[in-house]
Every structure is written in structure tokens, then in C-alpha cells.
Amino acid sequence: MFIIMVLSILLDALLLGLVWQRLSRADIRGKSILFSDKAIIRRIDGIPYFIFQVCEMRHHTLVEGHVRCYCVRRFPNQDSQLRDDGYIHAHLQQQAMRLQIPDDELGGFLFMGLPSLVVHRIDAWSPL
């Protein structure tokens, strides 16, 4: 009787773990979100903007999608040299990019059911 109870508890834990793993997987959702192959820099009223497009391919879209953009720069050291493996040792620095569309002051919400533009204004405070 004791062995049956232990096996029952182990089976319950296994099934609960499988259900939880299935519901909490984000890798499949991440593969259904598409970004445009090319980004553009476009002048609008003389001001340059960095623009790309994003959309989701699933029928059941995200209820509340948020977007954030970061610029990652590589800064070589003063003593940067080409290493034996072909890489140059450098420091990476990330900087947040302020978005015009969707407005990041309002949380950067996107409706993922339709293709949406993401627009960053290139100015003196832009990392670009």
C-alpha cells in the first residue's frame, strides 16, 4: 500500500511538472514573432528616424506586447590586439533607445495582431 501511495505522488508530480513546463515555455512564442529583415533610417521633416517592423504570426496574438530597444556597442581596449583565436578583446556597452512609436513613456505597448512599426528618433541623446 505504501509503494502505491509513493508511486501515485511521483506520478502526480511528474504530470504537474509536464503541464507546467508546457504552459511556461516561451521559446515557441518567441519563434512566432517576426522582425523585418531590414531596418531603415528615414528623414521625416529633416529629422532622421530608425525604423523597423514587427508582427506575430499566430492566430491567438499576445494580449499586451511591450517593446524595448537597446543599442549594444563594442569599445576596444587601449591594448586591443588580435588574439590567437581571431577575436579582439573589447568591452560591450548597452544603451536604451527611446522610442517614438510605440511611445515608451506609455509603456511601449504594441498590438501584435497587425504588423507594427517601431520608430526611434536619432538626435543628440540617441546612442546611434
pTM (2 d.p.): 0.66
Q: What is the Cα–Cα distance from 75 to 82, expressed in whole angstroms?
A: 14
Tens of pLDDT along 68-117? Answer: 899 998 777 666 666 666 666 677 888 889 999 888 787 888 888 888 89
Residue 22 sits in the same domain as residue 48: no
Alpha carbon 41 to its chain's center:
20
* Residue 128, domain member (yes or no): no
Q: Where are the alpha helices (DSSP H) in the chain?
A: 2-23, 27-31
**Tens-place pLDDT, residues 10-25:** 999 999 988 887 766 6
CATH number at residue 103: 2.60.40.1400
13 lies in which domain range?
A: 1-27
